[in-house]
Amino acid sequence: KQEVTQIPAALSVPEGENLVLNCSFTDSAIYNLQWFRQDPGKGLTSLLLIQSSQREQTSGRLNASLDKSSGRSTLYIAASQPGDSATYLCAVLIQGAQKLVFGQGTRLTINP
């Protein structure tokens, strides 16, 4: 059974810092890994998607990496801003079942 874990569960940093969020998964048989952002009481916004054959994806100040063999992904946020405050979820798409399995999320707070 695929399990996805995110560390840390919560993170609070001053504005301007670079930070890394971690995601690990137990089964490497995945199609892709996706990072989402969720604001309180809202739905999900897709940030980055990495196909299983890829190593990383970048969008603006965000960079996500994938090491499928070790079952790890990181989301790097550069020059953090208060508007980055949200919960960040990673999810893997399981091969065969086409199901998304989510981690518990990291609640990020950027302090002005």
Partner 1 sequence: GAVVSQHPSWVICKSGTSVKIECRSLDFQATTMFWYRQFPKQSLMLMATSNEGSKATYEQGVEKDKFLINHASLTLSTLTVTSAHPEDSSFYICSAPTLRGVADIQYFGAGTRLSVL
List residues binding partner 1 (CB under 8 A).
31-32, 34, 36, 41-44, 46, 49, 51, 89, 91, 93, 98-105, 107
> 12 or 46: whose CB is closer to partner 1?
46
d(CA 92, CA 109) in angstroms, rounded, equals 24
DSSP assignment, residue 102? E
> 43 or 112: whose CB is closer to partner 1?
43
> 71 or 103: whose CB is closer to partner 1?
103
Q: How far is CA 70 from the centre of its chain?
A: 16
